[in-house]
Structures are given as structure tokens and as C-alpha cells.
Structure 1
Amino acid sequence: MGLRDDLERYREVGEKRRQDLAAFIQYGDLGNSRRDAVRIPIKIVDLPEFVYDRRDMGGVGQGDGAEEGDPVGQPQPGDGDEDGDPGEEGGDHEYYEMDPEEFAQELDERLGLDLEPKGKKVVEETEGDFTDITRTGPSSTLDFERLFKEGLKRKMAMDFDEEYVREALRVDGWGPATVYEWARSEHIPVSRAWIENAYEDLPADERDRWASVEEMEASVEHETTAQRIRREGLEEIPFRSEDERYRYPEVVETPERNVVVVNIRDVSGSMRQQKRELVERTFTPLDWYLQGKYDNAEFVYIAHDAEAWEVDREEFFGIRSGGGTRISSAYELAAAVLEQEYPYSEWNRYVFAAGDSENSSNDTEQQVIPLMEEIPANLHAYVETQPSGNAINATHAEEVERHFRNSDDVAVAYVTSPDDVVDAIYEVLSTEDES
């Protein structure tokens, strides 16, 4: 094994030592990842390297003049001094990077999911192999093999054993007309004009060599065109312009799998830091997963208290407001954005909302639920983040779950701690998988 093999082996070991995917989702630092690259910590594996033998430093007899018995150097912290506390510092980490597609595949395996993205009406045209044929095109795409085959077939169809036909003209009593009829019956592709010219060139004293055609056929060996080509080779092939065909790439049409994910988050005064962190820990893996599953993924982030507004991804997880809560304001904005920019005929839609389930009086029943029913989507989901358990007025999730209990496109999940995050993700994605 060479050094390159050793390095590859160390990389494989590093991948095996990376943090478990579920533990990463529940407790890992999601902020080190990007939308297109999921960075999962791994324990550093020191790669092999060359080091100098410290005994050779300075050369023999070139010490710094220390007297015999003097200490060579002062002990350093961590070198085994008795006052130290070994193991207190955490190990260094590097990162194993996976793209969203790999993340989605591994999450499917981890959770036992098999979500198959749906294609919409938008058609993606790509060029496949050069398997289609056309009558015109640039000379560089001329199909020479096909051209040769067509010419060869014509050669085989037009060619015949001329000497064999001339012998038929030597049958006593036969003339051009009789020989032509005989040739046709023998499937010999000879023209009447050729026979007449050959007969005129034949000396008169040779026109009665054979008493009958049977005697001629028994005495003269008939060589097929294929046999003659193998024996003599080919001097020319009769190509024609209509034989020319040009290759061009096959047009492959596939339904493009587009998805838009609308993430809605409560940023009212009751959504304190721990609740916000649980939202991020749940929504971020969902974003990675759907981005890995679909060809084209776009994300819309909506924050709301009593009013709703669109934000970017960075603001979405960090923003904090101090107002009240009216969840329907977010669904009203989501409906407007989807209607204008992401028609359901062309886009798969996911509408995910999260908060502590606190909502203004009657807003869930009178506004939110009707809006959820009016917005066509592959899946609606609400994730309740309530670390201390349900508050007295935290009823939104329960109301949504009760109303949509028989629906196969609405999921409700409850997260009270990071331990619940993976189960919540499974609840959301398995609902889409089943539907």
C-alpha cells in the first residue's frame, strides 16, 4: 500500500467516526452548515506525516552547554504532571461534508422513509445520446456506417454473375428474351438492355454451345455476389444522396421536479430563545431534505406576530418581536406569495409553520384552518415548540390536529426538547410519504 492508499483509508475512518445523523440533528451545531453543504463534525484523525528525530537536532556534541545532571527542560502542561487533569478539554473536530442529496438519502435510511418527489408540468429538455436520425445536418454528424450499409445493400441488389448469364446466352435456341425470362425466374438482377448488348457481342458460332439450360447449369458454377466480394473485394460502392443520414441527439423530456417550501415562524414575545432554537433545529433539516430530493428547490420565509412579513433565511431563525400573535396573518401572506409566484400546476408546495401554539382568540378555527384548506399543497405541517409543556392558552396545534385528523396531507408534531426533533421530522415526512 502506498501513501495515497493510506490517506484514503484514513478518510474512510474519519467518515465512520463522524457524529451520528440523529445526534447531529438533535444536538449538533447546525450553524456551521450552508444550504448546499451539510457539515457534520468528526473526531480528528491525524494523517501520517514525517517528523524529525529530536535526538538528531543540533548534531553530536553540539549541546547548549548544560552540566551533567541538569534537567533537560521544564515539564509542560499536559505532559503528565501530577497537578493536571487529563481529559478535561474536548477533542478537536473537523467536518464531514455531504450535499443535500446525500443528506436526504441517509435520512431516508435512518428514518425508514421512501419519499418519491412528484414531477410537475414544467418540462426539462435535455440532449441524450446521438441516437436519432435526420436527412440533413452538418457533415461532422454524417452516419458513415449507415451510409456504407445502404450502399452495400444496393451493390448486393444490383450485382450479378455476368459470366453465368453469358453462358445462358450460349444455350441452343435461346435469345435475349428467353434469357431475360430465365434470369428473372432465377432472381438474377440483370436488365434486358444488358442481355441484348451481351448477345450482340457473342460470336455466332458460340450461341449453341449448350443443348439445354439444364446442361449449362450442371456444367457452369454459379458464384453469388457475396462469394465474389469475399474473393475479389470491393472496388466501389454505389452511394446516393438519399442514403445520407445525419445523427443528432435524442431530446429527452422529463417532468422537472420543482418544490417551494414556505417556512412560517412565530416571532411574538412568547417565543423565547429555547423555542426559537427548537424551530431552527426542526426546520433546517427539513430544508436540507427537500432540497436534496427535488431538482429545483426554492424557499420562502415568513415571520409573524400579529402581522406577517417575508424575511431572508438568516433573519428567519434569529428575529424576535414583542407583539401579539395572529397566525392567520402568515397564511394570508403565504397564499398571496404562492398564488403570484408558484402556481400549483408547476410547483410542489410544502407549507411548514412552527410556534408555541399560542394564538389570538378564535383565529385558528375561524381563519387559519380555512386558509389551510384553501391553499393547495403537497403537505401542510405545524410544529409546536413548547419546552415546558403545553401552556394553558397553547391550543393551536391541538385544534389543527383535531380538525385534520382524517386528512392525509396535514401533519402536526410536538417538540419539547431536542430529543423530540427527529421524531417530529419523521412525523412530518412520513405523512407526505404515505399520502
Structure 2
Amino acid sequence: MGLRDDLERYRDVGEQRRQDLSEFIQYGDLGQSLPGEVKIPIKIVDLPAFEYDQLDKGGVGQGDGGTPQPGDPVGQPQPQPGDGDEEGDPGEEGGEHEYYEMDPEEFAQELDEELGLDLDPKGKKVIEETEGDYTDITRTGPASTLDFERLFKQGLKRKLAMEFDENYIEEALRVEDWGPDEVYAWARQQNIPVSHAWIVDADSNLPDDERDRWTSIDEMTEHVERESPVERIRRKGLKQVPFRREDERYRYPEIVEEKEKNVVVVNIRDVSGSMREKKRELVERTFTPLDWYLTGKYDNAEFVYIAHDADAWSVERDEFFGIRSGGGTRISSAYELAAELLEEYPWDEWNRYVFAAGDSENSSNDTEERVIPLMERIPANLHAYVETQPSGNAINATHAEEVERHFEGSDDVAVAYVTGPEDVVDAIYTILSTESNDE
């Protein structure tokens, strides 16, 4: 293997090998990414190269002024620029970092593959009506759109319904003591589509010496085989098909409604005094990938951020994960504000996701009396609550359990528990796999 092959191998396992997606979500630096651009660190492998070791300067056989003689004393190597013992200020420049950049659509696709998700976004808002295939039928239209195939089939059906075996009817006229009336009555019983006038005309052309060929109709049917209309057409050919005006149908294009896949995501976070730094970080690690994922899945994604303690208020994304308040907690205040803000996003035009997170601490009876009824009244593809308790459940942290117990078995409410970064990917899967794909 040559040097060129070595270089290619190092590039393959190095610069183009980025951090595992699950590892990135759990432990990576999410702050380097933007809402529309996900940056995943690349694992860098230094390429092999020959370098001159500065520490080898000086010593026996290396002098500045001629060649030393055996036994001459030699001084110690002098510090060189860049040596680790050189005096000076600590470096202020950070090392270079490489990132693999992907858009939210690629992120969503890879997360689907990694977690085995199958979320199929629903289109709601009609943005355009277009003409599709000519699959619909009307009774009028331009000649160029006449459905001739259908017209021919209708005419052929009529032709088959009108056809009968003339020879078979004539043989019935040869039954002894039978005339046109008896033959016509018998033909009606046999569902033979022959008119009385045709029978009378055929009887008038029948020779007298042939009128008593058969002693009974049973004898005639026993010896004469009736030919079907299809066999008759095959034998004689199809000279004409009886088309009628009422058989005409004209094709026109199906009107296709193109629907835009719109989504509004309401992110709710508890910012009360109990939500310390580790809890806030777990909220960010869970909500940020969810935002990227839904942005990649939908044509148009909008986000609403709500912070709350005992009261709720709308914030910008940049503030959302860093806010901390010293107040108490009333989670229902956030859902009241969410219901108000969602009025701008009609349910018949927008997909909705309502994601809330906190440490499950809530004011007395607020979950049962206010939050759960509000969740039931707010139409959404999915309601989710993420409990973040790094040190385990506190005694009064019961909100998640109450919600989970009330909505057990529901396909539009998910509850996830996150005690550390290692739980984040599982929580994301729990949330995204809960939504039903049924229309």
C-alpha cells in the first residue's frame, strides 16, 4: 500500500467521519447550529507527515562553530521557539473545528432511519388547485374529450342485448300447430329479444311443407342448438354497433388540491426557581432536535415559545432556554396562553404540536383541574410533556405521572422522562412515535 492509499484511507476514516447522530444529540454542542442549519462535529484524524523535532538541536556532534573534538564539553540544548517551557502568555486562539453541515430535511431523514420512525406529515392548507388526469366523466364536453372506448362498450352491450339466433326462432315456427303468437309467447319465456313483428314476417316467408317438422317444442329444442350472441358475432362479424346519444360521455380532468404541510410548534418551559441549570440543559437537548426534525418534515414550520412560572409569557427562541425565575409554578397558565396564541393557526389549516417540559412540580390540583382539561380542549396532532429530574423525582413532582395516567393509551399525548443526556434520544423516540398517522 503506497502513501497515496494511506492518505485516502485517513481521509475516509477522518475528515468525512462525523459524530454519531445519537451521540451528538445527547452530548454534542447544539449551540453551534442554527434553526435552519445543523452542524455536527467531524472526528478529525491528523494525516501522517515528517516533522523536524526541535528538541534534537544541540548535543554531541551538533555545534554552531566547527566540528568539536572528542572529549570537548558540549552545552545543553537551548530552548527553541514553540517549546513547551518557553515563557510567555497562554495562547488565546482555540483549535480549529470542522463540522458536517446538514439542513433540517436531511436531519429528519437520518433521525427517521436511526430511530425507525415513520412520521408522515399531513397536508392541510390548500394552496393551489390544479388539473390532474382526465379521470372524471360528464355528459357534455368538446368532441376531443369524448370517451370513445366507453361509448363503444355501451354500444356493444346493447348490440349483444339485441342479438338473437334467427334460425332458432324460425325452427320454433316449424313446430306443428304453432303460429307467430305461440312462438312469441315462448320466446318471451326464454328471454329471447325478438319482436312480434319479426316473427310474423318470418312466418310469412316460411314454406307450407316445413310447418310440421317438429311435433312439439321440446323435440325442437332437443335437436336444435341455440347459438349465443357472442358466437353469432364471431361467425358473422360485427358490421355495426348501435350508438346512442345517451351513451356519450366526455372526460374532464380531476381537480387536484395541492395542500401545504404547515406546522406550528408550541414549546412550553417551566422557568421557576426549581428549574436549575442541569434541568434547563436537558430541556434544550430534547426540544432543539424536535424543532429541527419538524422543520425538516414540514413545508412551513413556525415556532411559538412560552415560558412560565406561576404566570406565562411569550418569548423569543434565544431567550427560551436561558430564562430562570424565582417564582412558583402554575403550568396551566402556559396552556391558557397557548390556546390564545393558537387561534392564529386554525386547526383546519395547520398541524399543531404542543410540547411542554419541566421538573413535574406544579401548584396543588392545577394538573387535574386545569391542565388536563386544557390539553383536551386544544386540538393538536400531539401533546407531549417531558419531565427533567436529574436527581430523581421530588416528592411533589407528580405532574407527568398525572398526565400519563389520565391519557394512558392515547395516540395524541406522550409523556417522557429524562434524568440525564443518555435519556434524550429515547424521549424523542417516545414523543415522535406516539402520534398516530391516521387521517
C-alpha displacement of 1:93:
3.6
Give per-residue Cα distances to partners, 1:386-434, cap 9 Å, x unaligned: 1111111000000000000031100000001111101100000000256
Asked if the contact 2:15/2:44 (under 8 Å) is kept, the reply is: no
Q: Which amino acid in the other structure matches residue 338 of structure 1? A: L
CA distance in 1: counterparts of 2:9 and 2:131, whole angstroms: 38
- CA change 1:103–1:10 in 2 (3 A) is farther
What is the aligned partner in structure 2 of residue 342 from structure 1?
345
What is the aligned partner in structure 1 of residue 174 from structure 2?
none
Paired residues for 1:12-411 under 5 Å: 13-14=13-14, 16-46=16-46, 74=78, 93-124=97-128, 254-339=258-343, 341-411=344-414
RMSD (Å), alpha carbons? 3.7
C-alpha displacement of 1:127:
12
Q: Which amino acid in the other structure matches residue 380 of structure 2? A: A
What is the aligned partner in structure 1 of residue 429 from structure 2?
426
CA distance in 2: counterparts of 1:330 and 1:366, whole angstroms: 14
- CA change 1:51–1:123 in 2 (3 A) is farther
- CA change 1:6–1:120 in 2 (3 A) is farther
Give per-residue Cα distances to partners, 1:226-260, cap 9 Å, x unaligned: xxxxxxxxxxxxxxxxxxxxxxxxx9852110111
CA distance in 2: counterparts of 1:43 and 1:411, whole angstroms: 35
- CA change 1:412–1:72 in 2 (3 A) is same
Q: Which amino acid in the other structure matches residue 336 of structure 1? A: E
C-alpha displacement of 1:299:
0.4
TM normalised by structure 1 equals 0.60
Q: Which amino acid in the other structure matches residue 415 of structure 1? A: V
CA distance in 2: counterparts of 1:421 and 1:407, whole angstroms: 22
Specify the SS of the correspondent of 1:104.
helix
Specify the SS of the correspondent of 1:259.
strand
% identical equivalent positions: 82
C-alpha displacement of 1:94:
1.3
CA distance in 2: counterparts of 1:370 and 1:6, whole angstroms: 64
CA distance in 1: counterparts of 2:409 and 2:349, whole angstroms: 27
CA distance in 1: counterparts of 2:259 and 2:65, whole angstroms: 80
What is the aligned partner in structure 2 of residue 242 from structure 1?
none
C-alpha displacement of 1:19:
1.1
Asked if the contact 2:42/2:99 (under 8 Å) is kept, the reply is: yes
Specify the SS of the correspondent of 2:287.
helix
Specify the SS of the correspondent of 1:281.
helix
What is the aligned partner in structure 1 of residue 230 from structure 2?
none
Q: Which amino acid in the other structure matches residue 432 of structure 1? A: E
Specify the SS of the correspondent of 1:117.
coil
C-alpha displacement of 1:46:
4.9
- CA change 1:75–1:269 in 2 (3 A) is same
Asked if the contact 1:114/1:433 (under 8 Å) is kept, the reply is: no
Structure 1: gaps (5+ residues): 55-62, 82-89, 129-250
Q: Which of 414, 417, 423 pairs up with 2:420?
A: 417
C-alpha displacement of 1:18:
1.3
- CA change 1:285–1:64 in 2 (3 A) is same
CA distance in 1: counterparts of 2:84 and 2:335, whole angstroms: 62
C-alpha displacement of 1:268:
0.3
- CA change 1:15–1:282 in 2 (3 A) is farther
C-alpha displacement of 1:76:
6.4
CA distance in 1: counterparts of 2:75 and 2:21, whole angstroms: 50
- CA change 1:348–1:127 in 2 (3 A) is same
Specify the SS of the correspondent of 2:349.
coil
TM normalised by structure 2 equals 0.60
Structure 1 residue runs of 4 or more that deviate by more than 6 Å after TM superposition:
5-11, 47-52, 69-73, 75-81, 125-128
- CA change 1:290–1:127 in 2 (3 A) is farther
- CA change 1:389–1:91 in 2 (3 A) is same
Asked if the contact 2:126/2:257 (under 8 Å) is kept, the reply is: no
Specify the SS of the correspondent of 2:321.
helix
CA distance in 1: counterparts of 2:9 and 2:37, whole angstroms: 23
Specify the SS of the correspondent of 2:290.
helix
Give per-residue Cα distances to partners, 1:37-88, cap 9 Å, x unaligned: 1111112245799999x9xxxxxxxx9757659789646699899xxxxxxx
Structure 2: gaps (5+ residues): 55-62, 86-93, 133-254
CA distance in 1: counterparts of 2:309 and 2:368, whole angstroms: 18
Asked if the contact 1:118/1:257 (under 8 Å) is kept, the reply is: yes
Q: Which amino acid in the other structure matches residue 391 of structure 2? A: S
Asked if the contact 2:412/2:436 (under 8 Å) is kept, the reply is: no
Give per-residue Cα distances to partners, 1:163-215, cap 9 Å, x unaligned: xxxxxxxxxxxxxxxxxxxxxxxxxxxxxxxxxxxxxxxxxxxxxxxxxxxxx
Asked if the contact 2:37/2:102 (under 8 Å) is kept, the reply is: yes
- CA change 1:273–1:80 in 2 (3 A) is closer
- CA change 1:407–1:11 in 2 (3 A) is same
Asked if the contact 1:408/1:434 (under 8 Å) is kept, the reply is: no
Specify the SS of the correspondent of 2:275.
coil
- CA change 1:124–1:79 in 2 (3 A) is farther
CA distance in 2: counterparts of 1:66 and 1:359, whole angstroms: 84
